[in-house]
Structure 1
Amino acid sequence: MNNLIQLRHTLHQFPEVALEEYQTAERIKAFFAPLYPDFVIDKLGGTGLAFVFRGEKSGRRLLFRCELDALPIEDLKSSDHQSQIPGKGHLCGHDGHMAIICGLGERLAQNRPESGEVVLLFQPAEETGDGAKAVLEDERFAEIRPDAAFALHNLPGYPLHQVVVRKGTFAAGSTGMTIYLTGKTSHSAHPEAGLNPAQVLARLIQKLPELPKQVENFALLTLIHADLGSLAFGTSAGKASLSLTLRAFDQDQLEHLIELVKSSAIKEASNEGIKVEFGFVERFAVSKNDPALYPIVAQAARDLSLPITEKSDPFRWSEDFGLFSQVCPSFLFGLGAGENSPQLHEGTYDFPDELIETGVNVFERIVREGI
């Protein structure tokens, strides 16, 4: 495992954020070169990579996915592998996830499955919600479309090596949404000559957080940012915007919440003669685990004598892997990163090296159980 730890440390030192993972991809390609995969797809969905290991007989095709990108957050933990790129850091553990998939590649190179195929996918731009969509829309994805897809995520706050599973929704779907309000500027001495969206903005700030109550089961609307006019005391504002994040555990309910926000904004704006437009960013599908894959993951954990915990409720955060569950049976599970570990996206977070071997072992067992 020392080579995998060293690989993770190198990736940690040179993080690249979404859509910029060029050198990261080159390092992964260099790692796989001596493993002689049977098929390679380069620049998949941008900077993505796929390595295929084939058995001698036909069979199921399993896909294992990890993420290439880091975060635009300063790495604050002093170590011999601290990020060398100012303002960027692998503070979500994607460096560790990549090391795990690389370790699985080593195992497959030494002992290919007897039948079927295993696809090792390194996906770009997970943090922005752009990567899975780009990979799935790449016409070459048809060459590796799997019968089942698996992914893991390290989970601070859970005991080290604990396997966290759940049937159905594992993590919420979410989207960033901005409401743009356009009226008309006027002299601040004559506000009646313009259309100031201030009152519409104020009413939306009050009313929108109540909308999730109209959605069945869990839904959440979080106000993120508001903007009105500019700091010009002689001018009555003519523009405003309100940004929010929407979350739900069901994809249809998330779409319903979006429509409720649109309807409310349109109604409030039209009452004042204000033009309204909408923008969306960081759209994440609900991560939904196929119940038929649950026994495979659970058995892999039991075979390795790893503790298993059943999550009673889905996680409120989102994961770009959710989009895969819309095109094939998929399963996302967690690996405990330590009860005292800093949380994901914190400046002092660092993926625990001892999880690499655990992740490799679990994925290898899934290959043998599921192929």
Structure 2
Amino acid sequence: MKKMIDPLIALRHELHRTPELSGQEKETARRIRDFLSPLKPEQLLTMVGGHGVVAIFDSGTPGPEVWFRADTDALPVNETTQLDYASGNPGVSHKCGHDGHTAILAGLAEYIALHRPTKGRVLLLFQPAEETGQGAAAMLKALKALGFSPEYAFALHNLPGYPLNSVIVRNGTFAAASRGMVIRLKGRTSHASEPEKGMSPAAVMARLMVDLPGLSNNGDLKGYRDFVLLTLIYGNLGSPAFGTSPGEAVLMATLRAYQNGDMELLSNTAAELVRRHSDAAAMGCEISFTEEFPATMNHPEAVQFVSDAARSLGLPLIEAGLPFRWSEDFAHFAMESKAALFGIGSGTDHPALHHPDYDFPDKLIPTALKLWKDIYQRLQE
């Protein structure tokens, strides 16, 4: 096993040393392609939905089409560790463990190359741009255009705060829907000594900063089916010019919901509130949304494959009581298949995801690879 794991750890360290942001994963994709090429999949696709790489192992006989996905992009976070393989790109680092996820899936590719599918076909997706919510949708569109359509889809994500090598599953919503809301208030500048001759957005902005977070349900459903949350994340009013009363303001918020229908209701309600306040002040406004992630909805049949694999390997199995509040663009694959996104514990005291001190634990690679192998074998039975 060590002979198989050591090259995967080396691959992870190489990826960690050379991280690339969402949409810029050119060298990451090249390294993945170079690793996969000697395995001789039936097809090796590149530039799929951006810098996506897909290895296709096709039995040539009828059977399920199964997708396994790993994410490949890094974060705009400056690394604070003193690792031998620390990031060589200032301000960019793998602080979500995508380097580890990629190495694990590369290990599954090696295994499948030696144990080819006897029915159906298996697609291993190395997906860019997960952090911005754009990669999965782009890959899905590109692969569907080529005639691929998943019956099952699987992805894992390491989870600090859970016991090392534990497996965390949940039927239904696993990760919340989220989207960024951008509000631009448009008034009119004036001299600061004559504010009455302008139209400052300050009062409207202040009201919105109070009222928008109040749309979160905080246990009171308020017409929603489940949990919703609105968090203000940025605000800017005017400029640091003491002689000028401001004419424009920008306010940004992150919206989250456990149900896709609730996300639409929250978005519409928030937009209506903004328009009501701006109209009352006879002020213009522009509203846009970005980085949109649907809720990741797990299918019971796919979750059962993961649970059975964990039990067969003697791994601690934890059923999450509530969905996770963070989002995952694997949700797009889940909308097209029987899918399961699950967690694998990184350790109860491990630094949190996106923390400058975080590093994917190499000890997870053998365990996660065994899980992928077991799930793959069960789908071939």
Compute the TM-score of the two structures, normalised by the length of structure 2. Answer: 0.95
Alignment counterpart, residue 307 of structure 2, candidates 298, 301, 319: 298
Tell me the alpha carbon deviations over residues 28-56 of structure 1, each in whole angstroms, 9 at most, x when there is no partner.
00001110000122100110011101225
- Superposed CA RMSD in Å reads 1.2
Letter in 1 for 2:318: T
Q: Bigger CA drift: 229-238 or 257-266?
A: 229-238
1:314 aligns to what?
Answer: 323
Distance 2:343 2:72 in 1: 18
Give the deviation of 1:305 after TM superposition. 1.1
2:65 aligns to what?
Answer: 61
In the alignment, structure 1 residue 120 sits paired with structure 2 residue 131: no
In the alignment, structure 1 residue 282 sits paired with structure 2 residue 286: no
Tell me the alpha carbon deviations over residues 69-116 of structure 1, each in whole angstroms, 9 at most, x when there is no partner.
011111211122111111111110000000010000000000112111
Alignment counterpart, residue 130 of structure 1, candidates 119, 129, 134: 134
Distance 1:139 1:154 in 2: 26
Tell me the alpha carbon deviations over residues 117-174 of structure 1, each in whole angstroms, 9 at most, x when there is no partner.
1100011100111111221232655433211110000001111110000000001111
Aligned residues: 371
Q: Which runs of 5+ in 2 are unaligned?
A: none
2:94 aligns to what?
Answer: 90
Provide the identity percentage.
46
Distance 1:187 1:293 in 2: 63
Compute the TM-score of the two structures, normalised by the length of structure 1. Answer: 0.97
In the alignment, structure 1 residue 29 sits paired with structure 2 residue 33: yes
Distance 2:142 2:60 in 1: 27
Say which SS state the counterpart of residue 115 (structure 1) adopts. coil
Distance 2:349 2:48 in 1: 37
* Residues 139 and 117 of structure 1: CA distance in aligned 2, closer, same or farther (over 3 Å): closer
Matches within 5 A, 1:234-249: 234-249=243-258
Alignment counterpart, residue 106 of structure 1, candidates 107, 110, 131: 110
Alignment counterpart, residue 333 of structure 1, candidates 300, 324, 342: 342
Distance 2:145 2:333 in 1: 12
Distance 1:99 1:56 in 2: 27
In the alignment, structure 1 residue 368 sits paired with structure 2 residue 361: no
The answer to whether the 8 Å contact 1:152/1:333 transfers is yes
Letter in 1 for 2:301: A
Give the deviation of 1:212 after TM superposition. 2.1
Alignment counterpart, residue 252 of structure 1, candidates 229, 249, 261: 261
Letter in 2 for 1:105: A
Distance 2:102 2:259 in 1: 29
Alignment counterpart, residue 214 of structure 2, candidates 210, 214, 239: 210
Say which SS state the counterpart of residue 212 (structure 2) adopts. helix
Letter in 2 for 1:156: P
Give the deviation of 1:255 after TM superposition. 1.1
In the alignment, structure 1 residue 350 sits paired with structure 2 residue 354: no
In the alignment, structure 1 residue 179 sits paired with structure 2 residue 188: no
2:79 aligns to what?
Answer: 75
Tell me the alpha carbon deviations over residues 223-272 of structure 1, each in whole angstroms, 9 at most, x when there is no partner.
11111111222221111111111101001101110001000000000011
Say which SS state the counterpart of residue 64 (structure 2) adopts. strand
The answer to whether the 8 Å contact 1:178/1:241 transfers is yes
Give the deviation of 1:292 after TM superposition. 1.9
The answer to whether the 8 Å contact 1:21/1:47 transfers is yes
Distance 1:39 1:143 in 2: 13
Give the deviation of 1:192 after TM superposition. 1.7
